[in-house]
């Protein structure tokens, strides 16, 4: 049985839609996984218990991540399917980004499986710029919504922000078995709206993709610089004065580093 819905075997037919989407290239694919496979997934059986991977700040709240340890069989099957050469070729057809690759199987440097709970929230941020081992450009993300039962009123939507990370330009509702593929550049800020239910956890799978090309975005007509540069995961705080609180020192350092590099790029 194919894990991914067979109607998405050729993502190239969505190339034009992907490229012109605002605020930056992205694509929403409903019923992404095979219907039977998804119905047997049962993420309620998956719980991350490690306090080491627990986030609870003003900008990353009630969130747990797994460093790909103790994943269920079905979650691992999905990860494997999203990392095959076949799927990479499919992403190439969608994006025209050359020399795509994913992190190596068994990756424990970056978290792929995420859980969020009541009042969980993820502020505006742009992810790490580079593959941990090679330092090559991070160019694409895919987020797959795995919770079997979810009501839009519970929140947990993915926000896409403007190039400065200060204003929400699009909200993508959390819909079970929906996948969101989006271009990753130093200016593609995104986040998660606050969760307002205490019944179900928000389970999602996140996979990042990289390119051996150091100028991966040149063929895109973007509303911001289509350049890549190295930067850390960078959060944009809702009020500038918050950067100067002692507890937010790390956010200030990363923001300054990102802003300097974006200016000279």
Domain coordinates of the chain in residue numbers?
A: 6-264
Q: Supply the pLDDT for residue 76.
A: 86
Q: Supply the pLDDT for residue 105.
A: 54
Q: Supply the pLDDT for residue 190.
A: 98
Q: Supply the pLDDT for residue 24.
A: 98
pLDDT in tens, the chain (265 residues): 689 999 999 999 999 999 999 999 999 999 999 999 999 887 665 656 555 566 677 788 888 777 766 678 888 899 999 999 999 999 999 999 999 999 765 555 667 888 888 988 999 999 999 998 899 999 999 999 999 889 999 999 999 999 999 999 999 999 999 999 999 999 999 999 999 977 788 999 999 999 999 999 999 999 999 999 999 999 999 888 888 888 889 999 999 999 999 998 8
Q: Supply the pLDDT for residue 44.
A: 60
What span, in angstroms and rounded, lies between the C-alpha atoms of 125 and 28? Answer: 20
Look up residue 133 and give its DSSP letter.
T
What span, in angstroms and rounded, lies between the C-alpha atoms of 222 and 214? Answer: 17
Q: Supply the pLDDT for residue 45.
A: 59
Query: Look-up: residue for tokens 């986030």?
Result: 55
Q: How many CB atoms lie within 10 A of CB 91?
A: 20
- CATH architecture of the domain covering 6-264: Sandwich (2.60)
Rg of the chain, C-alpha, whole Å: 18
Phi, psi (rounded to 5 degrees) for 113: -100, 130
């Amino acid at each position: 049985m194919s894990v991914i819905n067979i109607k998405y075997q050729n993502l190239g037919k969505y190339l034009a839609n992907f490229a012109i989407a605002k605020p930056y290239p992205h694509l929403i694919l409903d019923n992404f996984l095979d219907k039977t496979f998804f119905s047997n997934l049962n993420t309620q059986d998956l719980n991350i218990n490690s306090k080491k991977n627990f986030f609870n700040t003003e900008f990353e709240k009630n969130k747990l991540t797994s460093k790909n340890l103790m994943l269920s069989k079905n979650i691992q099957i999905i990860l494997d399917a999203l990392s095959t050469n076949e799927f990479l070729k499919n992403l190439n057809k969608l994006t025209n980004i050359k020399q795509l690759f994913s992190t190596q199987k068994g990756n424990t440097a970056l978290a792929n499986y995420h859980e969020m709970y009541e009042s969980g929230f993820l502020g505006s941020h742009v992810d790490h710029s580079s593959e941990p081992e090679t330092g090559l450009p991070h160019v694409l993300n895919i987020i797959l919504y795995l919770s079997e039962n979810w009501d839009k009123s519970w929140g947990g939507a993915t926000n896409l922000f403007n190039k400065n990370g200060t204003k929400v330009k699009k909200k993508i509702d959390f819909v079970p078995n929906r996948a969101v593929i989006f271009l990753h550049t130093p200016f593609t800020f995104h986040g998660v709206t606050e969760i307002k239910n205490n019944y179900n956890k928000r389970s999602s799978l996140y996979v990042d993709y990289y390119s051996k090309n150091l100028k991966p975005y040149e063929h895109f007509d973007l509303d911001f610089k289509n350049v890549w540069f190295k930067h850390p995961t960078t959060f944009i705080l809702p009020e500038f004065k918050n950067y100067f609180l002692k507890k937010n020192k790390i956010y200030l350092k990363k923001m300054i580093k990102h802003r300097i590099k974006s200016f000279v790029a």
